[in-house]
């Protein structure tokens, strides 16, 4: 069975700086197409986003990357093997450590 990888759209695949526009998706990030192409060779790629799926499909087609994506969802898939997200922390079983990480967390685009 092929594993599924859920990839966040904003902040991972596009140039995102926190300025969310409901009807516009920021330009594709350099290297994103190659990343999805490589990922899709061994995994099912699922786009995880709160955005309108029709807008996402249009964006994927405009950037010639739709062929690498198997689905789009706004629901956390219980069968996903890995989530790739710019606003995520990995829980290691220690609540104290994750609380400390939450206090100082910044997405990469706020650090640049």
pLDDT per position as a tens digit, 20-46: 889 999 999 999 999 999 999 999 999
Band (101; pLDDT cuts 50, 70, 90): very high
DSSP helix/strand/coil, 71: strand
Domains and CATH numbers, the chain: 4-87 (3.40.50.1000)
If 0-12 CB within 10 Å is exposed, 13-18 middle and 19+ buried, where does residue 9 land?
Answer: buried
If 0-12 CB within 10 Å is exposed, 13-18 middle and 19+ buried, where does residue 103 land?
Answer: exposed
The answer to whether the beta carbons of residues 65 and 28 sit under 8 Å apart is yes
Residue 104 CB coordination number (10 Å): 6
What does pTM read for this prediction? 0.90
β-strand partners of 7: 47, 84
């Amino acid at each position: 069975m092929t594993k599924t990888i859920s990839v966040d759209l904003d902040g991972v695949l596009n140039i995102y700086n926190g300025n969310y526009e409901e009807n516009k998706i920021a330009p594709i990030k350099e290297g994103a197409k190659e990343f999805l192409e490589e990922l899709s060779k061994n995994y099912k790629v699922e786009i995880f986003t709160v955005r309108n799926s029709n807008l996402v499909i249009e964006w994927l087609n405009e950037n010639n990357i739709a062929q690498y994506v198997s689905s789009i969802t706004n629901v956390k898939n219980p069968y996903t093997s890995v989530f790739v997200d710019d606003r995520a922390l990995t829980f290691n079983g220690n609540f104290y450590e994750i609380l400390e990480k939450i206090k100082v967390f910044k997405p990469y685009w706020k650090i640049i």
